[in-house]
């Protein structure tokens, strides 16, 4: 059963009432979010006060899967916008007492939050929640499918480092098959005109790709050649089918020697958590001339502020 949406008017800023993934977003939506995120990034750097933006709004965060980075980034974004974040602790919830997920969601909705941020291991959980509540829903990562705010903050980081996304060679490397970050990024970066490469051993390539334009490479040596951006991913151990060996990824470590094959001034990215010595060598992760990794973490806050503002205030950038 879907309940009527609280917002009577469609938003001027985005074509969507929720952020369930990158897939439903138009290029205009993506540009609107990135422009607003850039505005917040500059404002935060100057120390501007944005606490009037979502004053008196209450946003619930529901994390059914472990998260430190993403959750904290959302909490800081809410605080910077003046909203109150209420954390609904999924572990101690009534689900462990036998309540159905659908009833839990309806109870939460009955308390009339102004927004819901959800992370869940089930495919499509954010859409399910969105169809049962009367406020905007933001996907903070579901299954291996989508992690839209991560892809948006990655795009913001690239745009600010390189000035554009269109025409860049971008390699996404490692356990692509089980990574929602890879999937959301493949959709977003292809949509904005980058030449996206999926670089993974066969076992870690997805069965389907979200865009026909994505080139496939089996080795890091070939895959990162002349790339402007190299995005490394960790092995998603928690989503690996039982008995599946990860040995093929042993050769997937980005070292300073390999990095010489990328374009001069290539930027290195990683969504975190990094497994140093596995997919990335210390000397790459810590090289301030190439590493954009902590800049990604920094861009997470303004990006999430932009999404919250656009969805909860329903206005354009
Ligand atoms: C990512 C996630 O949860 O999908 N991490 C994050 O959002 N910081 C990537 C990962 O867990 O590897």
In this structure, are residues 262 and 227 in contact, taking their beta carbons and an 8 Å threshold?
A: yes
Q: Is the pLDDT of residue 277 over 80?
A: yes
Query: Edge-to-edge, what's the strand order for the sheet holding 267-269?
Result: 215-217, 195-199, 169-173, 229-232, 267-269
CA 74 from centroid of its chain's CA atoms? 12
**Mean pLDDT in residue range 208-223:** 97
**What is the 8-class DSSP label of residue 95?**
G
Gap from CA of 44 to ligand 1 centroid (Å) = 24
Closest ligand 1 atom to Cα of 150? 7
- Residues 48-70, mean pLDDT to the nearest whole number: 95
Which of 178, 271, 276, 293 has most ligand 1 atoms within 8 Å of CB, for mutation?
A: 271
pTM: 0.94
| Sequence-distant (≥ 6) Cβ neighbours of residue 250 within 8 angstroms | none
| Pocket-testing residue among 272, 279, 300, ligand 1, by greatest number of atoms within 8 A of Cβ | 272
- Is the per-residue pLDDT at 2 higher than 60? no
Q: What's the pLDDT at 93?
A: 66
Question: Which atom of ligand 1 is found nearest the CA of 147?
Answer: 4
The confidence score (pLDDT) of residue 66 equals: 86
- Residue 164 token pair: 């554009």
Measuring CA to CA, how many Å separate 271 from each of 12, 158, 283, 285, 293? 30, 13, 17, 12, 7
Q: How far is the CA of 274 from the centre of ligand 1 (A)?
A: 10
Segments in the chain forming alpha helices (H): 27-46, 69-80, 101-110, 125-130, 148-162, 180-191, 220-223, 256-259, 282-285, 293-313
Tell me the CA–centroid distance for residue 4 and ligand 1, in Å.
Answer: 32
3-state secondary structure 238-297: HHCCCCCCCHHHHHCCECHHHHCCCCCCCEEECCCCCCECCCECHHHHCCCCCECHHHHH
Mean pLDDT score, 53-82: 96
Span 261-275, pLDDT tens digits: 999 999 999 999 999
Q: pLDDT per residue over 230-254, tens digit each?
A: 999 999 999 899 999 999 999 899 9
pLDDT of residue 99: 78
Q: Is the CB of 272 under 6 A from ligand 1?
A: yes
Substitution candidate for ligand 1 out of 64, 270, 273 with most atoms within 8 A of CB: 273
Q: Please report the pLDDT score of residue 13 as a whole number.
A: 83
As a whole number, mean pLDDT of residues 25-47 equals 98
> pLDDT tens digits, residue range 132-172?
999 999 999 999 999 999 999 999 999 999 999 999 999 99
Q: Which atom of ligand 1 is nearest to the CA of 272?
A: 8
Residue 70 Cβ contacting ligand 1 at under 6 Å: yes
Whole-angstrom CA distances from 133 to 87, 175, 229 are: 17, 34, 39
Contact present, 26 and 82 (Cβ < 8 Å)? no
Q: What pLDDT is attached to residue 317?
A: 36
Please report, rounded to a whole number, the percentage of residues in the chain having pLDDT higher than 70. Answer: 93
> Pick from 155, 150, 193, 199: which is nearest to 177 by CA?
199
User: Rounded distance, CA 278 to CA 241, Å?
Assistant: 20
Mean pLDDT of the 189-214 span: 97
Cis peptide before 273 (omega within 30 of 0): yes
Q: Is residue 12 pLDDT above 60, yes or no?
A: no
Atom nearest to 119 CA in ligand 1: 3
What is the band of 94 on the pLDDT scale with cuts at 50, 70, 90? low
Determine the Cα angle at 77 with ends 72 and 81, to 5°: 145
* Cβ neighbours for 145, distance < 8 A, ≥ 6 positions apart: 21, 123, 124, 180, 183
Task: Grade residue 1 by pLDDT with cuts at 50, 70 and 90.
Answer: very low
């Amino acid at each position: 059963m879907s309940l009527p949406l609280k917002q009577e008017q469609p938003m001027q800023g985005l074509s969507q009432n929720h952020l369930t993934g990158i897939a439903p977003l138009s290029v205009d939506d993506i540009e609107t979010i990135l422009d607003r995120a850039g505005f917040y990034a500059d404002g935060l750097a100057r120390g501007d006060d944005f606490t009037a933006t979502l004053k008196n709004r209450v946003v619930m965060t529901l994390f059914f899967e472990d998260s430190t980075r993403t959750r904290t980034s959302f909490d800081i974004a809410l605080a910077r916008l003046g909203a109150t974040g209420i954390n609904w602790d999924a572990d101690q919830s009534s689900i462990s007492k036998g309540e159905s997920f659908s009833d839990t969601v309806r109870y939460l909705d009955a308390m009339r939050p102004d927004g819901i941020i959800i992370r869940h291991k089930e495919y499509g959980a954010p859409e399910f929640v969105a169809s049962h509540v009367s406020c905007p829903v933001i996907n903070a990562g579901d299954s291996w499918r989508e992690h839209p705010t991560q892809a948006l903050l990655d795009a913001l980081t690239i745009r600010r480092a390189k000035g554009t996304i269109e025409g860049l060679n971008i390699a996404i490397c490692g356990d692509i098959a089980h990574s929602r970050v890879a999937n959301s990024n493949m959709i977003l970066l292809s949509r904005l005109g980058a030449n996206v490469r999926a670089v993974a051993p066969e076992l870690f390539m997805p069965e389907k790709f979200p865009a026909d334009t994505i080139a496939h490479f089996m080795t890091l040596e070939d895959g990162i050649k002349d790339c402007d951006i190299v995005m490394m991913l960790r092995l998603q151990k928690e989503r690996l089918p039982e008995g599946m060996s990860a040995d093929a990824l042993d050769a997937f470590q980005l070292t300073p020697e390999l990095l010489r094959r990328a374009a001069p001034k290539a930027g290195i990215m990683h969504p975190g958590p990094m497994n140093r010595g596995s997919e990335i060598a210390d000397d790459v992760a810590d090289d301030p001339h190439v590493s954009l990794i902590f800049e990604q973490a920094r861009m997470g806050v303004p990006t999430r502020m932009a999404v919250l503002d656009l969805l909860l205030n329903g206005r354009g950038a």
